[in-house]
Amino acid sequence: MPELRIDPIAGRKVLIAEDRAGRPNDFESAGASSCPFCAGHEQRTPRSLLEISDGQGGWQVRVIPNLYPAVSLDCDKISNDSSFQASGSQPAYGTHEVIVESPRHIQDITELSTEELAQVLLVYRDRLQHWSEEKSIQHATVFKNVGRVAGASLEHIHSQLVALPFVPEVIANEIRGAKQFYERKGTCIFCRLLQEELEQGERLVGEEGPFVAFCAYAGRQPFETWVLPKQHASHFKQLTDDEAHSLASLLQQVVCRLQTQLKPLSYNLILHTAPFGDQTPDSYHWHLEIIPRTAQLAGFEWGAGVHINSLLPERAAKLLREAIA
């Protein structure tokens, strides 16, 4: 059973999940023939929690429990955060799902049709809606690891969802900053940022209907790109079917541009959405962060928490705009 531990000094939360060490790694094996996510191999994974039909008797998207979960619902949720003694650890409550994005053995979202990727985004929305109704869960992170250096252990196209009984640190920090800005200025900091990025244009990567993509002003890695809805929305579960199509198209455009600059491209795509019971819907704004993994984190990043980025975000955006998408 996975365990949640809290560093006694810095308060940092860590999930200890020993079963994960045993998970398969198909970057070392034969590819499609042994892939548990390919059509025809469904018996190698747990039963689907949700399946979207391909209209021809098969599935197009499957949601399954992660066989090697970092958190589990099969344990009591304990809220004692205080001690650093071994007895102060607690079971790692939560849920860890895999979203298999295609029955085909493909690796990146540029190999899906825009319609297929829109369907994947709608599955994100539906799973977030599902977990938002579970009182013991406060937040869910949806993310993709593409490529081995981005932490992927299976190459078959998939995303993951980890739902937790607490708001994780990265989201809590954003919410704090956004709330402070809202209290001072009476407006959403993301809406303001968006407006400036659109006006200035020097970090702009692309637009598609109600969505915009730009290189992050304080990007941690070269080519770090954020995708936001232009209209204020705190929860990804507010996404409409039409919006899903525009968002899919913009994401494919951004990844395609990244592929021309970085070969091979490895990246993480991370959905930042408000906590389910969020009381500050006016100050927080959901967004996607695409973080290409070009540089290894080194001792300075671990020891100081300060990233070193060797490419000016304005230059990165220009390179992406000039890339043929």
> How far does Cα 121 stand from its chain's mean position?
11
User: Residue 261 forms beta bridges with which residues?
Assistant: none
CA-based nearest residue to 265, from 252, 249, 278: 252
Candidate list 96, 130, 156, 158, residue with the active-site label: 158
Establish if 186 lies at the interface with a copy of itself (CB under 8 A): no
| Shortest Å, Cβ 109 to a copy of itself | 14
103, 206, 219, 292: residue in contact with a copy of itself (rule CB under 8 A): 219
Comparing CB distances to a copy of itself, the nearer of 171 and 247 is 171
Report the C-alpha gap between 92 and 95 in whole angstroms. 9
21 binds a copy of itself (CB under 8 A): yes
**What is the number of residues in the chain?**
325
Q: How far is the CB of 256 from a copy of itself (least distance, A)?
A: 20
CB of 31 to a copy of itself, least distance (A): 20
- Hey, which residues does 212 pair with through a beta bridge? 207, 228
User: Which range, of 25-33, 59-67, 109-117, 217-225, touches a copy of itself by CB under 8 A?
Assistant: 217-225
Q: How far is the CB of 19 from a copy of itself (least distance, A)?
A: 8
248-287: which residues touch a copy of itself (CB under 8 A)?
268-272
Minimum CB separation from a copy of itself for residue 221, in Å?
9
How far is residue 297 CA from its own chain's centroid?
Answer: 19
Neighbouring residues of 150: CB distance < 8 A, sequence distance ≥ 6: 266, 267, 268, 293
Determine the longest span between alpha carbons in the chain, in angstroms: 57
Closest CA to 290 of 222, 200, 197: 222
H-run or E-run covering 62: strand 59-65
Is residue 237 within the footprint of a copy of itself (CB under 8 A)? no
* 16 contributes a contact to a copy of itself by CB under 8 A: yes
Min CB(171)–a copy of itself separation in Å: 7
Residue 324 binds a copy of itself, judged by CB under 8 A: no
Residues 55-94, interacting with a copy of itself (CB under 8 A): 70, 84-86
- Scanning residues 136 to 165, which ones bind a copy of itself (CB under 8 A)? 141, 143-145, 148-152, 160, 162, 164
- Containing 198, the helix (H) or strand (E) segment is helix 189-200
CB of residue 307 to a copy of itself, shortest distance in Å: 5
Supply angle C-alpha 296, 271, 302, rounded to 5.
30
CA distance linking residue 252 with residue 113, whole number of Å: 9
User: In this structure, what DSSP letter does residue 151 have?
Assistant: T
Q: Is 307 in the site for a copy of itself (CB under 8 A)?
A: yes
Q: Which stretch binds a copy of itself (CB under 8 A): 24-32, 97-105, 219-227, 228-236?
A: 219-227
DSSP conformational letter for 93: B
- Cα–Cα distance measured from residue 292 to residue 133, given in angstroms and rounded to the nearest whole number: 33
Binders of a copy of itself in range 87-126 (CB under 8 A): none
Residue 139 among the catalytic residues: no
Which listed residue (37, 124, 190, 211) binds a copy of itself by CB under 8 A? 190
**274: amino acid identity, one letter:** A
Distance spanning both ends of the chain, measured CA to CA: 45
With binding defined as CB under 8 A, does residue 318 bind a copy of itself? Answer: no
Query: Interface with a copy of itself includes 202 (CB under 8 A)?
Result: yes
Among 33, 34, 80, 200, binds a copy of itself (CB under 8 A): 200
What is the set of active-site residues? 158
